[in-house]
C-alpha cells in the first residue's frame, strides 16, 4: 500500500535523502512474497536499489553534503519512498553527472555483472563468456562491461515473438553472438567457435535444461557461476562434465559479497569507480527502463512479474 508517513528526525550521523528513482527487481518481488534469503521485519518499505539526492546531513556526517547523489550501500534500505532519513554508513556517494536511470540501477545488476566477470576466471581480451537470460539487467551489463574489456560474449535468450528486435538491441549493446536456447543443441554452434574460443566462464540465471546445454560448450576446467534460477528448476550436470572436463560450479550473490567485503572499502570503491567511469564514457548504459510514477506502483509490480519483460520498471519519486 501507498502510505503517508512522518520523516524521522535527523540524528548526528544521519542523512536526509530525497529519493529520485528506484527500480523494481525480481529480488524485490521475492522479498515481498517471502521467498528471498533476506526478509525485513514487518512493516517495511520495499525496494533495495535506487538513487536519491542529499537534502540535509547530521553534525557528524563528513563524507556527504546537500546536493550529493547517493545509492544504497547494502540490501534492505527500502527505496520505494519519496524521502527517508538513513545512517551515513548505509549510503554510497555517486557522481551526480551520470544519467538518473544509470544511477538508480547501479547497485545491483552492474555490480553483479562486474564481480562475476572479475572474480571467477582471469579473462583476457579475446576470451569469451557464455550467458543465459542475456536480456536481463545483469545480462545487459555483462555484454557492455565485457565489450569494454575486449571480452567476447555469446548470449542465450528464450525464443519469443519479437526475437529479431531483441537480437538487434543486444547487438547494439556490444553482443558478439545472440542465440536461442534451442540453438545451443544444434551443430551450427560449431560455426561460432571458428571465430572465437570456447568460453572459460558461463553465467547462469535460469537453471534446468538451458544450463545443462550451456555447460556443454564450456572449456575443460571452465567455471559456471549461478546467480539466479528463473526456470525454478535445479542445475543438472552430466557426470562426464565433472570427470572428463573438470568443470567447476560456483554460486554468486551480490548481497553476500557486500557482507564479506564490509571491512574492505577499497574493493567496493574501486568497483564503483570503474562502473561510474564506464557510464561517463558511454560504455555502460542503464537497461531498457519504463518510468512509472509512484502512485502507479501496482501496475509496475504486475509488469515486472510478466514473462518476456525486457524493460525494467522504475518508480519515479
The set of catalytic residues is: 36
Distance CA 219, CA 215 (A): 9
Q: Is the CB of residue 305 less than 8 Å from the CB of residue 25? A: no
Alpha helices in the chain (DSSP H): 26-33, 100-104, 109-119, 137-148, 163-173, 189-195, 208-215, 239-243, 254-260, 265-280, 297-305
The C-alpha cell that represents 266 in the structure block: 577499497
The C-alpha cell that represents 271 in the structure block: 568497483
The C-alpha cell that represents 29 in the structure block: 518481488
Distance CA 312, CA 291 (A): 8
Residue 41 CA from chain centroid, whole number: 24
Strand (E) or helix (H) holding 249? strand 248-251
Could you report how far apart the first and last alpha carbons of the chain are, in Å? 15
Look at the block and give the residue holding cell 534460477: 229
The C-alpha cell that represents 114 in the structure block: 562486474
Q: Packing angle between helix 163-173 and helix 137-148, nearest 10 degrees? A: 40
Distance CA 73, CA 89 (A): 7
Whole-number Cα distances in Å, 143 to 137, 150, 154, 269: 10, 10, 9, 22
CA angle 131, 136, 139 (to 5 degrees): 40
Q: Tell me: cis bond preceding 43? Omega within 30 of 0 counts.
A: yes
Report CA dihedral (108, 179, 290, 42) to the nearest 10 degrees.
-40
Region of 144 on the Ramachandran plot (φ > 0 left; ψ -120 to 50 alpha; else beta): alpha
Amino acid at each position: 500500500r501507498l502510505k503517508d508517513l512522518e520523516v524521522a528526525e535527523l540524528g548526528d550521523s544521519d542523512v536526509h535523502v530525497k529519493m529520485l528513482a528506484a527500480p523494481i527487481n525480481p529480488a524485490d518481488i521475492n522479498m515481498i512474497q517471502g521467498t528471498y534469503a533476506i526478509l525485513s521485519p514487518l512493516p517495511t518499505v520495499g525496494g533495495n536499489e535506487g538513487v536519491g539526492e542529499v537534502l540535509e546531513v547530521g553534525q557528524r556526517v563528513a563524507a556527504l553534503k546537500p546536493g550529493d547523489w547517493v545509492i544504497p550501500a547494502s540490501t534492505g534500505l527500502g527505496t520505494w519512498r519519496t524521502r527517508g532519513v538513513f545512517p551515513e554508513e548505509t549510503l554510497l556517494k555517486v557522481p551526480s553527472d551520470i544519467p538518473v536511470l544509470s544511477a538508480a540501477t547501479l547497485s545491483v545488476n552492474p555490480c553483479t555483472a562486474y564481480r562475476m566477470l572479475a572474480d571467477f576466471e582471469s579473462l583476457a581480451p579475446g576470451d569469451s563468456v557464455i550467458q543465459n537470460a542475456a536480456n536481463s539487467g545483469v545480462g545487459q551489463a555483462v555484454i557492455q562491461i565485457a565489450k569494454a574489456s575486449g571480452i567476447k560474449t555469446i548470449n542465450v535468450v528464450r525464443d519469443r515473438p519479437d526475437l529479431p528486435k531483441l537480437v538487434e538491441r543486444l547487438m547494439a549493446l556490444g553482443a558478439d553472438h545472440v542465440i536461442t536456447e534451442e540453438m545451443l543443441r544444434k551443430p551450427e554452434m560449431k560455426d561460432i567457435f571458428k571465430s572465437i574460443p570456447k568460453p572459460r566462464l558461463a553465467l547462469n540465471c535460469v537453471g534446468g535444461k538451458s544450463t545443462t546445454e550451456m555447460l556443454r560448450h564450456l572449456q575443460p576446467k571452465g567455471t559456471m557461476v549461478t546467480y539466479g534460477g528463473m526456470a525454478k528448476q535445479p542445475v543438472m550436470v552430466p557426470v562426464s562434465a565433472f570427470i572428463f572436463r573438470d568443470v567447476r560450479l560456483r554460486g554468486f550473490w551480490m548481497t553476500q559479497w557486500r557482507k564479506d567485503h564490509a571491512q574492505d572499502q577499497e574493493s567496493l570503491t574501486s568497483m564503483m569507480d570503474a562502473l561510474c567511469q564506464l557510464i561517463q564514457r558511454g560504455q555502460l548504459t542503464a537497461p531498457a527502463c519504463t518510468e512509472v510514477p509512484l502512485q502507479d506502483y501496482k501496475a509496475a509490480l504486475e509488469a515486472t512479474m510478466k514473462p518476456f519483460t525486457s524493460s525494467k520498471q522504475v518508480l519515479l519519486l
